[in-house]
Amino acid sequence: MITILGECADLTDSGPYLIEHVLKNRCSTPPVCSRLLISLLSACTRLFLRQPAEYQHILGQVFELCMSSPDADVRDKAAMYYLMLSTDVPLATSVILSASGTTKAN
């Protein structure tokens, strides 16, 4: 569901609520599954690039969860996304959204 939401954000207005529900109910107590964190990170980054105002706070929460993960792959991907977003948003948008075949940012 999370991956689909990240790919098809324009199909629903309830995206932020669905992600918040997952964060509250699945990520509130450690350990959090690495696959879930990677899915959340990818989807929330894509959603943030399309709708920054709605997802800025949520993406911050996801970054915090990922950076505190015991899984080095999760931490590395979060660090890479954070670095890209903090240095060159247009390039990050091009790279991250083109990976899914969608480069249109609203």
> 28-42, pLDDT tens digit by residue?
777 788 899 999 999
**Annotated domain spans of the chain:** 2-98
Q: What is the mean pLDDT of the chain?
A: 84
Determine the length of the chain: 106
Give the Cα separation of 43 and 104 in Å (integer). 15
Position 106 pLDDT exceeds 90: no
Do 3 and 42 contact (CB within 8 A), yes or no?
yes
Position 104 pLDDT exceeds 60: no
- Predicted model pTM: 0.82
Give the Cα separation of 18 and 86 in Å (integer). 26
Structure tokens at 103: 């480069």
Residue 103: its pLDDT value, please? 47
Displacement of CA 40 from its chain's centroid (Å): 5
Position 58 pLDDT exceeds 70: yes
